[in-house]
Every structure is written in C-alpha cells, then in structure tokens.
Structure 1
C-alpha cells in the first residue's frame, strides 16, 4: 500500500511502560498514523488492549509485572528502584521475546519506546532493521538534566544490579562492550517529547535530537458532559486514571469547595465505583472517568496529582492547576507550574479542606495568572501535537536501514 503522496505505508511498533500515563500520550499519534494509511502495533499489557484498538492499532498483549510501581500513595525511591528492577527484568524476559516473535514476519520500519523498554526496544530495532525512536510522556533527559540521576545515584545498589542485567542481555544478543553504551543511554538520537519545550525542565539545553511536540490528544465528542449553567464556579478534581483507593483525598476536596460558590466534578479512576465515597454533597458529581478535555474548558480550577497528561490537558485549555504531587517526578512538574505562573503546588501535609481552599483562592487572585496561562496555552498548541509527531515519525521511519533476517 502507498499513501496519497506516493510514499509507502509504514509499520510502527510501540513498546511502552504499562501505565495509561505512558500509553495515553501515544494514542493521538497512532490515530494520526493510521488515518494516513500506516499500520501500528503495540506490544502492551492486556489491560490497555481496548484503548489501543480504539486508536486503530493492533495490540499484542501480555501481563506486566508492574505491580504497585508508581501506584502507591507514598512511593519511596528504594521501593521504586526495586519495582523498576522487576520491570526491567520483565521487559527482557517477557516483552522482548513476545515482540520479536510477533513482529518477525512483518518487521516494523520504526520501533517507538519509552524509558522502561529502552534496552530491549533498541536491540529489537537492531535485529529487525528498524529505526529506534524514544518517546517521552514526561520530562526528557539529556546531558544537563536527568530525572533518573536525581532519584537514584549511580552508587545505588539496584543501579549496579540493573547494569549487570543489561550487560548480560546485550552480550547474549551479540553486542560487545564497545557498543553497550549507546544501548543503555538514557536518551536516543531521535526523541519525541509529549510536552512543549517551555514546560521541560532545563528546556533550553535540549538540541535538535529532541522534538517537543506537546500533547496529542483528540477533542472529545460534543455532548459528553455539560456544565450545570447555574453561575457557580467549576472545579475539576482527579488523581489520574490509576489513582487507586484515595477516598480521603476526594472527601477533602468535596469539603474544600463551598456549595454556594462551586460545582465540583470528580473523576475517581477508570473502573472506580463512585458509591464508595458514600453520600456526597449535592454540588459534587463523581464519575469513574470522563475525558478531562470535556470539562476543562468550563473549569475555573483543576485539582490533580501533577501527572503530565493531566497537566498538558489543563495547559491546552488554559485552566489554572493546583497540584498535589506524590512522587519526585510529579513534584518537579508542580514546581514548573509555579515557576511559569500557571499553577500552585500543595504539599501532602497541607492537604486539608482549608489548605486547599486557600491555595485555590490565592491562585485565582494572582493578577499575572491569566497572562501566564495564555502564553503557555499558546506554547502547547504551537508545539504541533499529533500531526507534527506523525510527520516526524514518517520522516524517521524512511531512514530505515537494510533489514536483518530474523531467525
């Protein structure tokens, strides 16, 4: 098959961390690629097969060993490191052979991957003759900034164990010591970053290897949700798609917004049962899930956990954010909100109804806020989104080297 321009249809394979915050940012790209006549294959945890199919892509599924990685209410670096090591093992022992078998007969032109599948995805690209492209659903890394280095020093014992595991895997696949560095590097020569450069930590230090395309989500269907239209302010409250059991958080938020001034919309997480919160005040509506872009254009404030997908949706709509981060990566993003004047961070110990109410009032009273949000809204939209990401993916896939037969 060839495209209307005469260019050949390409095949793209995606190997991603088993979390909607990592898979979600790629779905708009996949929709754009399939609309252009390309084929897209995800090697993905079975829990995400339906959303992959809805994007027009094929899902090759497995069951991830993720466990509670980044799901715990208060993750500590040592636990994250151990869980990350288990995931690293999983990508080599499970994801890599599954992907190799599924793709051998129909090799992709490009292999797109994120931080947890760095090594096996690069090896897979080499063996299938595909172009490797690294995806960044959150802050990217380069020679100046590294989230991994901030969280785990090179002397952390799990880092040494992980390095040994990687070296053994590479040696098993015929990659010698002189080549190993580029297979374990934290970034690639081609990188798609799903945020604007203006929101990236140390954004000015990133060179042409990094394309900051911003979020790629599609606008929801009209009529999915409508505001009450009673003149009260609107607050959207969420801890993301996989927040787990955090009922105490939602109850505090219900108390923080007085009924005479506010209407509150809560999304509790995919599959959550709203009745678990008990009787809610009449001015609060709770949903298992709603696409946030259906609500954000009407919202006066968004209270969230500082997940990058949530933040990009808010910034795209110009909605003020109060962030309650619960991990180092999320804390970095909350600090970026404050630095750019588009939101506020609130520490866990400050999460009371009164504390949240004060943070919201201070944020909305800031006279510089509207201008800052307008500038960031423009930066997000100017980044290019799914069309620019697909343009680059097509351009890079066309660089595919000669393919290697897979036995």
Structure 2
C-alpha cells in the first residue's frame, strides 16, 4: 500500500465462543472498524445477535450447544472435559458450516476467532483465503505458558476423542498430518490480547506476535448511577453477566458489609430476579444488571468472580478487587491480582461473611495497594484499546496476500 494512500475497505469476520465475556471485548473494535469504512460480520449464537447488530455489524446466527460450560459453579474434571468436548464438536459441526454458508459468497479478508473456536476459525480462514487472527479475552498462551494445560487433563479419555474429531475435520479440508501441529497450537502468528502485558501471566515472555491492546469497553453515560451522599464507602458485588441465581452468595455479601460504613451495589446476572433474594438490608441495592463502569469510579472495592472483563474494568478505574473464582482460568486471574498487589483471591469453599469482611479490610489497609493500583491503571489505560486493535488489523490485512484458494 502506498504511504499516505487511503486504507481500502476490508471485510472482517468474527467466530467467537457463545459467551458475553468473549464477545463484549470485540464490540468496540468492531465499532472502530465500521467507523473507518470496513465491514464486520459476526458468526454468533442467536442470543447475542441483537448485541452485535446494535454495534452496527452483521450477525449470522446459529443455536449454540454450549450448555453450562463456564456457568456451573464447581464443575468436576469429568464435567469440564465433557463440556469441552461437546463445545469442540459444536464448533466443527455447527459454527463452521454456518460460517462457510454465510461467508463463501463474500469472503472476509480477516477471520478472528478465540481459544474455544480455534478449529472452526483457523480452518475457515484457510478455506476462505483470509488472514487468521486469534483474539484472547483472557490470558494468552505461548511456547512456555499453556492455558490449556491449566484447564484440561491431557490423560482424560475425551482428549483422545477430541483429537480424532480434529484430525477428521482437518483432513476433510485438505490439512494433512504434517500441518496439523500448526493448526493445533494455542496461539497464532497474530494475536490480539484484551489485557495489558503487565497483567498477563509471564507477560515478559511474549514476543511481538502478541499485541496486548488492553480492554475495550464503553463508558456509560453520566448519571446512570450515583453514589450515596452520606460518605459511606461503596462496594460493588457481581458474579458476572451469566452467573444465574447465587442467592446464598449475595446474601452473605450483604451481611459482610456493615450498613453504618458501606453502601453495597449488586448485579445479579442478566435475566435474574432480585426478588428471589428476599428482603435485603437498606444499605444494599440489587439489579439484574448495571454496567460496572457506572459504579466503579465511585467504588472502594469490587467483589467478583475474577472474569477478565470485570477485572479489566475494575483495574481501569484503579478499584481493588476481592476475587472468588469459580473454576477454569479464573483462579489464575485471581492469583494474578495478588501477584500484582491489586487484589486478593478468596476461596468460595467455606466462605463466611466475617471472612469476606476481614479480607476486604486487609486489602484496603495494604500500604502498597495505592501505588500498585495506579501502576496497573496506567498500564490498562495506555495499552491502546480499540484504536490500536483496528490499526493492527488493517496492517495485518494489508501485508498478507490472499491465498490462491480465496474466491
């Protein structure tokens, strides 16, 4: 491309896991690409179609067989393996055909996919002649750090079954055994990571294949939520957008914070019913959902499940976190909070209101906390966000020629 010449309009397609936390970080990038004159298509579970269309992108929808993956409170290794296997089969037999049917007549220049849609995303990029880009809503992986190893038991029988599914799928599309290793790695040649390098586990070991662009989220309109005017501290409590009913947990949190000192804001999960919690103390307000950035600038602490979206929002405002991870990589993120001096990890097993209250007070009394939070806030705020991600995607689309298979 000639220096100074206008950037040609491109088509970007996204094949992402059917979870709000995977889709939400990409929406700001999509808006930025659309504002620059590009086209964006999501191949997405039908529940997220309106969310995608609201940002101006095209939504190609299907019905996901995701089930309770990432939702079960404390899944066993067998349950995790079964959910992972079912998800792999779904991406191969449902997501991939939906993508090909929708995109074959108008192939994208770039296909973006994530950790859970690796097979569908990489093979779709090959078949369509597009540039593959892996997006990481959580910690990235490389030759020395494996997220997969933290989540899956390599000796579980379903791992071998999953490998056979992949071999058959790739073979159907002309990918031989000599190439399959490259298609099965946990990272790609180009990776967008939605957290700053400073929060990435073993972040100094990642090279320039990984662009740590930080979180991308929309700050709400002023006045959406206002803090109490009586000087009490504010605690925000959430288990994420899809947590479902965890009534006992939220009632415990209400008890942990003294009404004389604290005002507590709870977000219970989309489509939840605050009435199921029963009568709450007057110092607690409960919402099915409320954008966390509306509360975090006023919050003294955020109690959450350690989802990366929640952590990045909190750290973007310099709010310390008490994390109670459920499973999967969430425990790694909770530990990372402690490693960086910006939060505490707390087990949900045997949790009491007194223990939670003591952990919050210990965190807020940490003399090193303010400096650590300021440093991390700077790292989050200067990572580049949507504009940097769009710049990189334009560059990657321009530098890699289309393959001969491209229509």
Q: Is the 8 A contact 2:236 2:299 kept in 1?
A: yes
Q: What is residue 349 of structure 2 aligned with on the other side?
A: 349
Q: What is residue 198 of structure 1 aligned with on the other side?
A: 198
Q: Is the 8 A contact 1:104 1:406 kept in 2?
A: no
Whole-Å Cα distance in 1 between the matches of residues 62 and 406 of structure 2? 22
Structure 1, residues 226-278: CA drift from partner, whole Å, max 9, x if none?
11222100000000000012111100001111111000000001111111111
- Runs of 4 or more, structure 1, over 6 Å off, are none
Whole-Å Cα distance in 2 between the matches of residues 151 and 402 of structure 1? 35
Q: What is residue 96 of structure 2 aligned with on the other side?
A: 96
Whole-Å Cα distance in 2 between the matches of residues 287 and 239 of structure 1? 12
Secondary structure in 1 matching 2:198: helix
Q: What is residue 56 of structure 2 aligned with on the other side?
A: 56
The reply to whether residue 258 of structure 1 matches residue 258 of structure 2 is yes
The reply to whether residue 80 of structure 1 matches residue 80 of structure 2 is yes
TM-score using structure 1 length:
0.97
Report matched runs for 1:281-296 at 5 Å. Answer: 281-296=281-296
TM-score using structure 2 length:
0.97
Secondary structure in 2 matching 1:372: helix
1:323 CA displacement: 0.4
Q: Is the 8 A contact 2:134 2:192 kept in 1?
A: yes
Q: What is residue 42 of structure 2 aligned with on the other side?
A: 42
Structure 1, residues 88-139: CA drift from partner, whole Å, max 9, x if none?
0011111111100101111111000001111121111111110000000001
1:406 CA displacement: 7.2
Secondary structure in 1 matching 2:9: coil
Secondary structure in 1 matching 2:105: coil
Structure 1, residues 45-101: CA drift from partner, whole Å, max 9, x if none?
011111111221111001111001110011122211111111100111111111001
Q: What is residue 125 of structure 1 aligned with on the other side?
A: 125
1:149 CA displacement: 1.2
Q: Is the 8 A contact 1:129 1:400 kept in 2?
A: no
Structure 1, residues 367-389: CA drift from partner, whole Å, max 9, x if none?
11000000000011111111111
Whole-Å Cα distance in 2 between the matches of residues 7 and 277 of structure 1? 53
Report how many aligned residue pairs link the two structures.
404
1:350 CA displacement: 4.4
Q: Is the 8 A contact 2:14 2:113 kept in 1?
A: yes
Q: What is residue 236 of structure 1 aligned with on the other side?
A: 236
Structure 2: runs of 5 or more not aligned = none
Q: What is residue 248 of structure 1 aligned with on the other side?
A: 248
1:172 CA displacement: 0.7
Whole-Å Cα distance in 1 between the matches of residues 378 and 165 of structure 2? 44
Secondary structure in 1 matching 2:211: strand
The reply to whether residue 372 of structure 1 matches residue 364 of structure 2 is no
Moved more, 152-161 or 55-64: 152-161
Whole-Å Cα distance in 2 between the matches of residues 367 and 402 of structure 1? 54
Whole-Å Cα distance in 2 between the matches of residues 260 and 140 of structure 1? 43
Secondary structure in 1 matching 2:349: helix
1:156 CA displacement: 2.2
The reply to whether residue 11 of structure 1 matches residue 4 of structure 2 is no
